[in-house]
Amino acid sequence: MEKPNRMSESQNVVVSEAARSIIPNNSSAPPGFISISKKKLLKNLEIINDGERINAWVDSMRASSPTHPKSLPSSISSEQQLSSWIMQHPSALEMFEKITEASGGKQIVIFLDYDGTLSPIVDDPDRAFMSSKMRRTVKKLAKCFPTAIVTGRCLDKVYNFVKLAELYYAGSHGMDIKGPAKGFSRHKRVKQSLLYQPASDYLPMIDEVYRQLLEKTKSTPGVIVENNKFCASVHFRCVDEKKWSELVLQVRSVLNEYPRLKLNQGRKVFEIRPMIEWDKGKALEFLLESLGFGNSNNVFPVYIGDDRTDEDAFKLLRDRGEGCGVLVSKFPKDTDASYYLQDPSEASDEFLATIGGVETNAAKSVKRMYV
């Protein structure tokens, strides 16, 4: 597409709006036209374009809530079309035998999102506690397979929720990766000192943006701003939908001053992250390499998550052609995951517990590598 020429002072510019048109002041206006300055015209164009962008963000905010009626695509409104979606993304529980067959003889590695996967989604992110039963399940799982938590939360906060030293943790969407505590690693190949922070230079900037977001959004009831160390999160789960446009403007007004940061959206949350090529998929890839499985065809990664930020990991597994992604969701939505589970209780009480309790060939092969 050709770029339009810049306006010269003598050019006439016509913008259709409510059956009226606008041209610069220095041109004679025909009947039915109004005249404004070029500066004001450009400002009006900017507002129009910005309004379109804001509407797009608000639509995306609605779509980020699976329970919002407008978030469900019309293409899956009928029972027949819903069945079609389930055929493409069958229940991981119903397909458990097929999954174990595909993993036969390979080394299983488990990757788990936290919010909405190990814990229920709650209004207050500081109260997203996992159940004792879920903790026991994950602990049992880690005895059989290398197990990692991959989350948008900061590493320290998610560790305080999970409290399992034998796990691998990838906080801040994988920008803060740490291996098991000393003496807890069961895997011979991984270094005890595993630590990777690809965005460490951004820490002062994230702190600064966090403080500005707190100040800028304090007039919006229900908003919660969270400092996740290498990224900042703005939760709008408890914000009235009528205030969403206002919130978009507030967040973007802060981000406009930071071209090295980007704005992403998750499940009822805005994520402000460094402008680097790193996400949950990259974190999964890094952990596999750190575990010695980077170029191996003898590995079967299982990634379970509920958020659009988990799609990067699902896509990576599809591209690798090995392992499987499992989406935790009660509602159909576009995903690169192969299977689905309805909620965290299905993930823990049945699927993960079954994996941890079945002595598959894959489990035996991994156990032979443990100290």
C-alpha distance from residue 371 to each of 55, 143, 187, 240 (Å): 56, 11, 7, 53
3-state secondary structure of 194: coil
Cβ partners under 8 Å of residue 198, min gap 6:
175, 276, 278
Q: State whether residue 75 is helix, strand or coil.
A: helix
pLDDT score at 16: 34
Percent of the chain with pLDDT over 90: 58
Residues 6+ apart with CB under 8 A from 367: 144
**Residue 251 carries which side chain, given as an amino acid letter?**
V
Low-confidence ranges of the chain (pLDDT < 70): 1-52, 64-78, 183-193, 358-371
> Which helix H or strand E contains 21, and what residues bound it?
strand 21-24
What is the CATH architecture assignment of 201-274?
2-Layer Sandwich (3.30)
pLDDT value for 66: 53
Cα–Cα distance measured from residue 270 to residue 293, given in angstroms and rounded to the nearest whole number: 33
SS3 label, residue 275 = coil
Residue 283: both structure tokens together: 């974190």
Residue showing tokens 């939908």: 241
- Helix (H) or strand (E) holding 340, with range, is strand 339-341
- Nearest 5°: the CA angle 236, 241, 247 is 55
For the chain, where are the alpha helices, taking DSSP H only?
A: 38-63, 79-88, 96-102, 132-144, 155-162, 203-217, 244-255, 280-290, 311-320, 344-345, 353-357, 361-367
Distance CA 123, CA 255 (A): 25
- Kindly report the backbone phi and psi dihedral angles of residue 26, in degrees, each rounded to the nearest multiple of 5, phi listed first: -80, 5
How far is the C-alpha of 358 from the C-alpha of 301, rounded, in Å?
17
pLDDT tens column, 28-62: 444 444 444 444 434 443 444 455 677 777 777 77
Confidence (pLDDT) at 191? 54
| 279: phi then psi, degrees, rounded to nearest 5 | -155, -170
Confidence (pLDDT) at 18:
35
Query: What dihedral do alpha carbons 119, 120, 123, 127 form, nearest 10°?
Result: -30
- Whether 141 contacts 159, CB under 8 Å: no
Domain limits of the chain?
A: 99-186+280-369, 201-274
Task: Specify whether the CB–CB gap between 347 and 327 falls below 8 A.
Answer: no
CA angle 302, 233, 308 (to 5 degrees): 35
State in words which class domain 99-186+280-369 has: alpha beta
pLDDT at 296: 85
Q: How far is CA 168 from the centre of its chain?
A: 19
Give the dihedral of Cα atoms 140, 142, 148, 151; nearest 10 deg.
10
Please give the Cα distance from 52 to 36 (Å, whole number). Answer: 22
The pLDDT of residue 185 is 62
Helices vs. strands in the chain: H and E counts, helices first: 12, 14
**Global pTM value:** 0.78
Helix axes 203-217, 244-255, angle to 10 degrees: 140
Angle, helix 280-290 to helix 311-320, in steps of 10 degrees:
50
